[in-house]
Amino acid sequence: MKILDDRQYSKDHEWIVFSGTTARVGITDYAQDALGDVVFVQLPNIGDKFTAGSTCCEVESTKSVSDIYVPLAGVIITVNVKLSDTPGLVNSDPYGEGWIFELQLDGQPENSDLLDAKSYRQLIEG
């Protein structure tokens, strides 16, 4: 499984990359592999506000439908509209073109629940 060192991870298998007070979020390589072929991504609405841990959208695959969680409190400022036409980007490039949304964070991007790459690797390897 590919785990990148330049981001943080949630226990729900989302990755987060910070840029000042914004955060880009997607699902991990581990999560997309467990889902199977992604056939639909229900994107959140721009302007919707979420608390950390809230469900904001869904990813549907050939195996199941999975909730996507907001790892930090904030407002959705951008969604990856490419996923509407090409949901398989979540599978083929989960850490790049398969990102799902961006948040304007409420406050500082500090959260003790987030994991670094080493800790996330330990989580999925059990």
List phi, psi (to 5°) of 101: -155, 165
> Which of the listed CATH numbers 3.40.1580.10, 2.40.50.140, 3.30.1120.130, 2.40.50.100 matches domain 8-121?
2.40.50.100
Which among 102, 100, 99, 101 is positioned nearest to 22, based on CA atoms? 102
Q: Which pLDDT band holds residue 111 (cuts at 50, 70, 90)?
A: low
**Mean predicted confidence (pLDDT) in 10-33:** 95
Closest C-alpha to 70, from 99, 50, 40: 50
- At residue 96, the 3 state secondary structure works out as coil
For the chain, give the percent of residues with pLDDT over 70: 96
Amino acid at 120: Y
Please state the rounded mean pLDDT for residues 114-123: 95
Helix, strand or coil, per DSSP, at residue 37: coil
Residue with tokens 């790049």: 96
pTM of the model: 0.93
> Residue ranges of the domains in the chain?
8-121
Distance (Å, whole) CA 112 – CA 79: 25
Confidence (pLDDT) at 33: 94
